[in-house]
Amino acid sequence: MKEERSLSLLQLMVNEGLVPSLEEEENRKTVIEKLKQVHGSESDIDALCVGPYFATMDDFFIVLYNMLKSRPEVSEIYCVKDVKVPLMRFVFDGILIDLPFVQLKVLVVPENLDILNPVFLRDIDETGWKSLSRVLANTQICRLVPDLKSMLRCVKFWAKRRGVYGNLNGFLGGIHLAILAAFVCQCDPFVGLSALISHFFKKFAFWPWPRPVELQDETLHPTLNPTETRLYMPIRLPFSSYEYCHSNITKSTFYKIRTEFLRGHNLTKDLLKFDFDWHNVLEPFPYTKKYAWFLKIFLSASKQDELGDWVGWIKSRFCCLLFKLEEVQGLCDPNPAEYIDVNIADPHVIF
């Protein structure tokens, strides 16, 4: 029966377009190869722009931005600058790309750069190190838990459906979910996909936060960082003994995430129940039924190009808004989704 639950979950993932087709995989590879033309080094999810010592963040946000903007494959490009990990976000041949920047202390960036080589990691500033951390973390996760794709696709889909995905909005980012999923796989290495998802919800519905989540790695000896354990949900980066994932989680979003973990556990604790249905677990969060009052941010510009930069500016300040709202309201639940009103002609986005 549990195998049937796993198969039904896999079929749901296929139906929802979560499992890429061969054509989509080839397109993804093509995009990655094209990005390498601007000295990018990809991880599994994100890209990373690597520059020599004389390339600055201004070069990244001005010169490279204009280079990418002029390419016909690129659309919806904008910059997110005033955050701990500044980046460009854009769609390249239909694929969403997050592109942060790191400056290496070298004169020339090698064509076949091994970004994990300690020689290239010397004297990187704090911003560059935070940009680099996702690549290092993804590489280490793949080493520790090679077979993670199906589970990670599922938990990301769940997080997006239930409104708890998006670091800029104070929720879980991709790296947070990857580490949490890998942690469950390490705890239960010999169970099927459906059982892993069930264990995922159970594990974190009752996790004693702020106890950190740490992957098992014999090469590291974790040390407790008192500053990081003041976070609501500390999750240690798997390549470091003392560094933790950057987090924007607030009192409100922590409550929402815990509530959704508990809901997931209640719905999956009995996978053998005759009326069990994955659609119930992955049902979109019912904002309009749950709440009576909403704060809407409407952003409009005369040109689509101008809108992109303002979108990045607004997103970089979401967390500040959350803290202010919590001071006034107590709790709030930011919706990470963006909307377009088909009745409005001017370029716009609604948060």
Q: What's the pLDDT score for residue 37?
A: 42
Residue 210: asked if its preceding bond is cis (omega within 30°), the reply is yes
- Residue pair 9/278 in contact (Cβ under 8 Å)? The answer is yes
- Select 39-144's CATH number: 3.40.1380.20, 3.30.160.20, 3.30.460.10, 3.40.50.720: 3.30.460.10
What's the average model confidence in pLDDT over 5-18?
78
CB-CB neighbours of 181 under 10 Å: 24
Percent of the chain surpassing pLDDT 90: 39
| Fold agreement (1-26+148-285, 39-144) | no
What is the residue extent of each domain of the chain?
1-26+148-285, 39-144, 295-350
State the amino acid at position 216 in one-letter form: Q
**Lookup: tokens for 69:** 């903007």
The answer for residues whose C-beta is within 8 angstroms of residue 19's C-beta and 6 or more apart is 10, 13, 153
Q: Residue 6 corresponds to which tokens in the numbers above?
A: 């796993």
Q: Which of 163, 167, 128, 205 is nearest to 45 (CA)?
A: 167
- Quick one: three-class SS letters along 92-146? ECCEEEEEEEEECCCCCCCCCCCCCCHHHHCCCCHHHHHHHHHHHHHHHHHHHCC
pLDDT per residue over 296-338, tens digit each? 999 998 887 788 778 888 888 888 899 999 998 888 999 998 8
pLDDT of residue 16: 78
pLDDT at 110: 85
What CATH number belongs to 1-26+148-285? 1.10.1410.10
Q: How far is CA 112 from CA 9, 15, 122, 330, 347, in A?
A: 39, 38, 18, 51, 40
Residue 23 token pair: 């054509």
What pLDDT, in 10s, does the model give residues 146-168? 888 889 999 999 999 999 999 88
Average pLDDT over residues 112-127: 81
Among 2-6, 7-11, 37-41, 326-330, the range of highest mean pLDDT = 326-330
Tell me, what's the pLDDT at 254?
Answer: 96
Contact 245, 176 (CB under 8 A): yes
